[in-house]
Amino acid sequence: MGRIALTRTTCAAVIVAALHAAPARAAPKVWVSGDGVNSTTCGVTSPCRTLQQAHDNVTAGGEIGVIGPGELGPLTITKAISIVSDGGGEASAQTGSATGIVVNALATDVVQLRGLTIDGTSQVWNGIVFNTGAALHLQLCTIKNFRNGGAFGIEFQPANAAKLVVSDSFIINNGTIGGAGIRLAPVAGATTVVLERTVIAGNYAGIDAVPLLGAGAITMAVADSTIAGNLTDGILADGSYVPVTVIADRSRFVNNGVGVHATIFRAVVLLSNSTIAGNGTGLLSDIFGVIGSYGNNNIDKNGTDGAPTMSFAQK
Partner 1 sequence: MRTIVPLLATLAAAAVALPCGPAKAASPSKTWVSNAGFNNVSCGAITLPCRTFQQAHDNVGAGGEVAVAGPGDYGPVTITKSVSIISDQAGEATAQTGNATGITVQAGTADVVQLRGLTIDGALGTGSTGVNFRFGAALHVRNCAIKNFQGGYGILFQALVPAELFVSDTAITNNTGTGAVAIYVTPQAAQATVAGLLERVTIAGNNFGIFVTTSSATVNMTVTESLAAGNAFDGIVAVPTGTGPVTLMVERSKLVGNGYGVRSFGASATVLLSNSTVAANTTGLQSAAGGVIGSYGNNNIDRNGTDGAPTTSYALK
Which C-beta is closer to partner 1: that of 82 or that of 309? 82
The CB density around residue 54, as the number of other CB atoms within 10 Å, is: 29
CB of 7 to partner 1, least distance (A): 5
Distance CA 43, CA 24 (A): 10
Which C-beta is closer to partner 1: that of 124 or that of 237? 237
- Contact flag: residue 308 with partner 1 (CB under 8 A): no
CA distances, 226 to each of 136, 178, 198, 200, 288 (Å): 21, 20, 6, 6, 26
CB of 238 to partner 1, least distance (A): 17
Q: Which of residues 90-129 bind partner 1 (CB under 8 A)?
A: 110, 112, 114-115
DSSP letter at 116?
A: E
Residue span binding partner 1 (CB under 8 A) among the ranges 83-91, 177-185, 205-213, 231-239: 83-91
Which C-beta is closer to partner 1: that of 6 or that of 177? 6
Distance CA 128, CA 94 (A): 11
Q: Rule CB under 8 A: choose which of 23, 25, 87, 311 binds partner 1.
A: 87
Q: Rule CB under 8 A: choose which of 50, 51, 57, 66 binds partner 1.
A: 66
- Residue 162, Cα to own-chain centre: how many angstroms? 13
The candidate with the shortest Cα–Cα distance to 282, out of 239, 222, 235, is 235
Which C-beta is closer to partner 1: that of 49 or that of 144? 49
Q: Which of residues 245-264 bind partner 1 (CB under 8 A)?
A: 245, 247, 249-250
Which C-beta is closer to partner 1: that of 124 or that of 209? 209
Which C-beta is closer to partner 1: that of 80 or that of 207? 80
CA distances, 214 to each of 130, 188, 239, 242 (Å): 18, 6, 12, 8
Phi/psi at 163 (nearest 5 deg)?
A: -125, 145
Count residues contacting partner 1 (CB under 8 A)? 74
Q: Which of residues 13-52 bind partner 1 (CB under 8 A)?
A: 14-15, 18-19, 28-29, 31, 33, 35-37, 44-47
Q: Which of residues 148-167 bind partner 1 (CB under 8 A)?
A: 163, 165, 167
| Full strand arrangement of the beta sheet holding 116-119 | 70-71, 91-92, 116-119, 142-144, 170-172, 199-201, 226-228, 252-254, 275-277, 298-300
Which C-beta is closer to partner 1: that of 219 or that of 255? 219
Distance CA 301, CA 225 (A): 20
Binding mask 188-217 for partner 1 (x = CB under 8 A): ----x-x-x---------------------
Q: Which of residues 215-234 bind partner 1 (CB under 8 A)?
A: 219, 221, 223-224
> Three-state DSSP class for 61?
strand
Q: Which of residues 169-188 bind partner 1 (CB under 8 A)?
A: none
The CB density around residue 194, as the number of other CB atoms within 10 Å, is: 18
Which C-beta is closer to partner 1: that of 124 or that of 235? 235
Distance CA 302, CA 308 (A): 14
